[in-house]
Structures are given as structure tokens and as C-alpha cells.
Amino acid sequence: MDWGTELWDQYDIIEKHTQSGLELVEKYVKFVKERTEIEQNYAKQLRNLSKKYNLKRSSKDEPECRLSSYQSFLDIVNEMNDYAGQRELIAENLMMNICIDLTKYLQELKQERKTYLMEAKKAQQSLESTYKQLDNSKKRFEREWREAERAAQYAEKTDQDINATKADVEKAKQQAHMRAHVAEECKNDYAAQLQKYNKEQNQFYFNDMPLIFNKLQDLDERRVQKLAQGYILFSDTEKHVMPIIGKCLEGITKAGTNVNEKNDSMVVIEQNKSGFERPGDLEFEDYSQGINRASSDSSLGTPKGPMDLLGKNRSKNFWLFSKKSKKFTPERTMPTVTEDFAHLPPEQRRKRLQQKLEEICKELQKEVDQSEALGKMKDVYEKNPQMGDPASLASQINQTSQNIERLRAELNKYETWLAEAGGRGDTLRYKTHTFNNNGAHDMHSPDGAHSDESTPDASQAIYAEFDDDFEDEEVTAPIGKCTAMYNFPGASEGTISMQEGEVLAVVEEDKGDGWTRVRRNNGDEGYIPTSYVTINLNK
């Protein structure tokens, strides 16, 4: 069944129906746009939420970040950020596949509908014009036929009038004959116009308009089909990202299952244990026996009680429960924060120094690699001047050399402090793989010590056990002398102390690692920082 057969006389209904269909498409596009805005705002709010609760770079080094509960929370924040990305993808696909596509299709339908309606209007105007010609022909035929009848009646009357002359009778007959001829012509024209109109009317109602109506029906059915596809896309757009959204939600679930409360407790212990011994028992002070209190006090090696632990701050709470004082040093005031982390308890100091050393070593390796790369580039420029000017690299090479010297000085300084910190507990002897000017590792420079609890990073190969036994080595002849410009404690394994102005014999020259091997007159031998002395070698 089609509109051209069943709705041949319902032009107004068809016009109204097709217009209503186009308006429904517009309404759906508007609906999807508003849904898209909701998704975009939702995604934006989720991203802002993730950004708000995500740790900044400076906060990622906080001790709490090692806890599984903190890591899981960060994982959840990251998963929500990915989830927001999927909501944005939904909004983008809704806009592209439905709103933009349907809007473009809607414009095509409007233009096509307009063309069909104009064709119908043109056909209708043509039929109306033919009908108007038919009506005019009919009216003219009617008018001329009446005039012919009146002329015939007048001629008959004149012929019967005895007073009328023969000329009058002849004239009246001729007039009647003429009128009859004109009426006959009008009759023939009317018949022709009627035939023409009936033919056009038949063409209009049985061919032209049914064809146009069927085209409008096809247009409307295509509109409905396209709209139905848009309805399905509305669902499928979200279905397509559901697997990824499911993975985000699975990631959140996994983050929850990854929380390990026992491990978090161990991390808290590892990060915060001070290394101090617990206070010993207080001695009984028998005043009835006249015991000198001062001597009793001096015989005690541990704090005597909460008030003694507090020292001068007697008005404050007992240190163990204090909210302000996180770390406690017996029988002395809290020290200020220092570069060598001496303000920290032994365990914490060793860990911080170890961490600082690893950071310096990584930075030093980076600078050494940069220096090696610049050296190679300079060699290439010298051999192939057309590729570049070697002099242009001078400032970079100089700056890199300065950075390397600065970092080596810092490395020596922190290794000395680490050795001091290691002296408070079990000390593990080790040596450092320092760096020569070619970026390779040198194994000859002993440095400091670190706690047994600190595990070296195998990927960096920074620390290893110190194997050399200096006492068993053969005595080598000195190759020069050096004078100390600064004091050096020589607390690290394999190093030797020296005082400012002290003269020592140079046994082994600096091999590029920043250390020189020297010997005292009494035979003591060890390494000292090259930058701490002025050296005069034998010629």
C-alpha cells in the first residue's frame, strides 16, 4: 500500500505529516546534544576530581606514598581519570555519529521534501489553469448559444411581421445564421477544452500526484529508518566503551584488593623507627642512707624519668605522647634541621643519607654521560668541520665539567656523613663505583658505609662490598708529595684523615675518580679527596 493510491486526496495531511517527521528529527538531535553536554560536564567534573586528589610531584616523595592503602587510592584516582576519558569518548561519538550526521541528513530531507512539494504545487497550478480555460470556454459557449437563440427568434418574428421589408427579413436571418455559427464554434472549443482538462485531471490524480506522494512516502520512511538507527546508536555508543569502563571499575576493585594492612604496618615501622634504645630502669634513691644524689645521677646512663627526659621543657607533655615533637633526643633540646640529617635518629639518618647518595650518583652518571656525548661530538666536529664548530661546544663542556666536580664533592661529603652514621650501628664496608672522565665506572675509590638494612640497587651498581686489604699490599715508592688545604676526617673505610697544612707522600695519582692515595711517615696509607690538597709530583 502506498500514499499515492490510498491518500490521493490527502495532500494537506501528507504535507503536515512529513513536516512533523522532520521536527521529530530536530527534537531528537536536540535531545542528544543535551545528553552530550551532560556527559561532557560529567567527564570534566570527574577529571577535576581526579586532579584535585592526585598527588603533586613534590608530594610523591612523602613516606605515606609507600603504603599500599595510599597507592591503591592513587590507583583509584587514576582509574577515575581514565573513566572520565571514556565519558568524553561517549560525548564525542554521540555528537559525531548522531547529532552532526542527523543534522546533515535532516537538511537533505528538507531540501528533497521542498522539491517534491514544489512539483505538486506546479502540477496543481497547471490543472487549475486548464480548468480556468475550460470554465471560460464553457461560459463563452453558454453566452453565444443564448445570443444565437435570440437571433433566431428575432429572425422568425421579423419574417412573420407583415410590415417588415424583405431587406429587414434577410438581415435578421443573416444575423441569426452568424450567431449560430459562432455558438457552434464555441461549442467545439468548449468540447476541446473539456477533453483537455479531463486528460490533465486524470494525469494529475492518477499519475503526477501519486508519484509525488509516493516519493514523499519514501522520504518519510527513510527518515524513520535513519531516526531508528540514531536511536540504536544512542545505546550502542555507550555499549562500545562499556568493556573499557568495566576495566576501569575492575582496576578500582583490584586497587582495593591490593591493600595489605600488614605490609603497611611494616612500612610504617621501617620508615619511622629511631634506632634508640629504650630507657633503662630507674634506680632506687635511698635518702634515708644519705646517698649523694648527684653521684647517683652521674652513675645513670639513661634518662631517669619523663620529667628528666623533657629537660627544661617541664611544662610540656611527656615526649612519647607529644603531638609536636615527633623525634626525641634524650637530655638535649631538639636540634635544628641540618644538611647531614644529624637531627634525625640513627636509622632515619642512614636511610636519608643513603637516599641522597643514590640521587647524587644518578645525577652524576647523567652528567658523565653528557660529558662523554659532548666529547664524541667535539671529535666528530674536529674531523668533519662542515658538520659544526668544535668551539661552539666549549661552554657546554665546561659547564658539564663543573657540574661533575660539584657532584663529586657532594658525593664525597655525603659518603663521609654516611660513614659517620654507620658508626652508630652495624657497619657494612663497601666501595663506590665512581666515574672517570670517559663515563666508565672506576673501582678504586673507597668511600663510606651504610646500614645492613639498606639494600643497594643492582641496576645502578653503586655500592658493593669493599674487598681490598690495604695492610697486605706491598709498600710502593712515593711518586710525590701533597699538602692538605682542608681538614679531612677519613672516617670511611680505606680513607685516611689529615689536618690542614699536613704534608703527605703521594703513593698513587688520581685516576679521574677524585681520590688520591697517600702515606704518612708512620706508614699509614689511605685515600684522600684530590680537591682537598695541592700535589707536587716527582719529575
Tell whether the model's pLDDT for residue 128 goes beyond 70: yes
For residues 464 and 497, is the Cβ–Cβ distance under 8 A? no
Structural domain of residue 491, as residue ranges? 480-537
What pLDDT does residue 142 have?
A: 92
Distance CA 418, CA 249 (A): 46
**pTM (two decimals):** 0.53
Query: Which residue is associated with the grid cell 637530655?
Result: 331
Same domain, 242 and 372: no
Tell whether the model's pLDDT for residue 383 goes beyond 50: yes
- Which CATH number goes with the domain that contains 140? 1.20.1270.60
Same domain, 354 and 228: no
Q: Between residues 531 and 35, which one has the greater pLDDT?
A: 35
Distance CA 341, CA 529 (A): 22
What pLDDT does residue 59 have?
A: 62
Tell whether the model's pLDDT for residue 391 goes beyond 90: no
H/E run at residue 435: strand 434-435
Same domain, 489 and 411: no
Domain final residue, candidates 421, 448, 467: 421
Q: How many separate domains does the chain show?
A: 3
Q: Mean pLDDT, the chain, as a whole number? A: 80
Same domain, 91 and 218: yes
- 185-201 pLDDT, tens digit each: 999 999 999 999 999 99
Tell whether the model's pLDDT for residue 60 goes beyond 70: no
Q: What percent of the chain lies above the pLDDT cut of 90?
A: 41
- 161-188 pLDDT, tens digit each: 888 888 888 888 899 899 899 999 999 9
- Side-chain half-sphere CA neighbours of 82 within 13 A: 18
Domain final residue, candidates 421, 446, 462: 421
- For residue 337, what are the CA distances in angstroms to 340, 341, 415? 9, 7, 19
- 499-528 pLDDT, tens digit each: 889 999 999 888 777 788 899 888 888 888
Tell whether the model's pLDDT for residue 362 goes beyond 50: yes
